[in-house]
Amino acid sequence: MKPAPFDYYAPATMGEVLALLREHGDAAKLLAGGQSLVPMLNMRLARPGVLIDLNRVAGLTGIRQEGDTLVIGAMTRHAEVERSELVARLQPLLTEAIAQVGHIQIRNRGTIGGSLVHADPSAELPAVLAALGGSVRVAGPAGVREVAAEDLFLMFFTTSLQPDEVLTEVRLPVLPARTGWAFEEVARRHGDFAIVGVAVTLTVADQRATKADDLVITGCRIALTGVGMTPVRAAAAEALLVGRPPSQAMLAEAAAAFRAEIEPDTDIHATADFRRHLAGVLTERALGRALQRAAERGGGR
């Protein structure tokens, strides 16, 4: 299990990266953390003629706040995101989800941008991006463009990035007030890719004017991994919840609505039916936890 030969470049600037991409076109593959790419190289399932290593490119790492947006450089390692107090404060859904990515050694090397462009249909981070309605910035020959989550993932292992483009940063909206979050997944073993995973945010408002001690859901975003070719938004379930007071029955109803919407695949670990069932169960659990957190974060006050 040794990789086929390739030419290797370790450019220091984005300009060099783009020039190399222009020169080598489809023959080139970008190397970020390598935690998904290198196994494929070792198994010779991928045989790029050229590997462009992004690890020495300046300006691709770091975590910062820009107004209502949390900005994370594409080459920021999972472990750094996981440990970041800024991320935990501004977008705790990501903190919770990223701890589920692989194991310590994977997270020490793997990058947030790499995870997203790899677009594994069972991965955690694409679902998080989709649930949060985040976006990514992409550098290319024509300059920098922003791609919204819903436009990024096309199908299994395929994004809308062109072969001459590079994902440079990930942009996530800061978690609003009175909003709870939860990431739930089941995997065969700890750290494995999810069979099904769900990322949820839920915003509530005080409705005391009409009914004492009651809340109303004013916003809800749900995205799942493992149930389709890309992360799947649960639009019907979201619509069902928004504008209504939360209850366990409501959450169950939303989960059931979602279950009917999806068309997952069967593989050696789970049938389509089982995945559909899990999607419902996990959505209900995630909504429940998110609701509790929303209430704790001042929903009722």
- Binding residues for another protein, rule: CB under 8 A, are 1-8, 10, 34-35, 38-39, 41-44, 51, 53, 55, 79, 102-106, 108-109, 186, 188-193, 195, 268-271, 274, 277-278, 281-282, 285
Closer of 183 and 299 to another protein (Cβ): 183
Closer of 33 and 299 to another protein (Cβ): 33
CA atoms of 74 and 160, how far apart (whole Å): 16
| Burial per residue of 213-246, b for 16 or more beta-carbon CB atoms within 10 angstroms, e otherwise | eebbbbbbbbbbbbbbbbbbbbeebbebbbeeeb
CB of 33 to another protein, least distance (A): 8
Closer of 35 and 91 to another protein (Cβ): 35
CA atoms of 198 and 200, how far apart (whole Å): 6
Helices (H) and strands (E) in the chain, counts: 12, 14
CB of 276 to another protein, least distance (A): 11
CB of 297 to another protein, least distance (A): 26
CB of 261 to another protein, least distance (A): 19
CB of 112 to another protein, least distance (A): 16
Closer of 53 and 261 to another protein (Cβ): 53
Name the residue among 75, 62, 68 with its Cα closest to residue 90: 68
Place of tokens 């004013």: 218
For 233, the 3-state DSSP assignment is strand
| Alpha helix (H) residue ranges in the chain | 14-24, 37-42, 78-83, 85-90, 92-98, 104-109, 112-118, 124-132, 149-152, 235-241, 248-261, 272-294
HSE, CB side, 13 Å, CA atoms: give it for residue 265. 10
Looking at residue 275, the DSSP 8-state letter turns out to be H
Closer of 41 and 98 to another protein (Cβ): 41
CB atoms within 10 A of CB 129: 28
What proportions of the chain, in percent to the nearest 5, are helix, strand and coil? 40, 25, 35
CB of 298 to another protein, least distance (A): 29
CB of 295 to another protein, least distance (A): 22
Closer of 99 and 205 to another protein (Cβ): 99
Closer of 105 and 247 to another protein (Cβ): 105
